[in-house]
Structure 1
């Protein structure tokens, strides 16, 4: 939140305020925590501009709040694999933009692509880089990993993807388990030879990918 707030000229709460707010919210709603294996209590901190302003400028006041809700699996089916489609015309982020920060600017650009994909029966959209249009970057709401042998690769954090907490945890755990973990540019063609592909995110958890469709080819 601190990094994102700085990028879009917003003051951020202190670490102590943030942690206390999350703890208090979780404890106040502990009765809503689903039974083991049935879901989780999703906690979402939010920082928004408020106050009397109409012009194009930072808001005069800001509100920090935390809310939560019991949720089931993000995608349908407890262990269902995802069917991804690769979008090569629309882009969720560009170099120098705000694709690397957790803000509304990260989600508005993907609404058109995900709406089209859902209509066509896909679970999610995998986006390519906006410069070369050949390197995979991120799914609409989560990071992506590619496994080949003992090597686990994920797109490098170069300002156009979110450096997710779950992504970081997976990289650390995989490395501790003896896997070779790489952060690098991954060409879309490499997906054909991948042994396994999966997505990660706070809401998603770890979700396996079953199929990937690119330019009409699955």
Structure 2
């Protein structure tokens, strides 16, 4: 049998094991937003290459990005895969920011959270994970980001075996932890870091700080799946 624990206990175990993550890895709100759009379906290392290319071209802000065409943006972000679609997504967001807020991010983030989130979700190509990453990490809004890593970890820990959509997962988590921007920020970052390095598709259970509590490990320990 696995020992049971709360979501806050999961967070504290990860924090003690990995230390504070200091997310998002961007120096400005503009860079965080650009990175959040570029990181869809690709590793962060590839996003860094694209950001460096943009910087080399003198592009640091969303306003500067808006001045470029989709065709000019695409080759600069080639490392992120699906770069033509992502160039269009970037332009969709910069158009929205220009038309609604005259590139004033402070004005945008001053909007009612529910209203702003609803508006952003209407933008073509921006799903809830990307929108919530922008709101949390660039806007310091209390929204918990749910991604494939989150679902993998919490399912393996046995919190639920229900098939849930994004909103249901988000509600499941936020009902069980305090509403706190710093907690939402670092908890998501802790999960991503663990799942990138340890709780992978082929998990390294032997070095995971959560093994004692892991339903997945208990079910597979007689024939564990470990990485080479």
TM range (shorter): under 0.3
Bigger proportion of residues as helix: 2
TM-score after normalising by structure 1: 0.28
Bigger proportion of residues as strand: 1
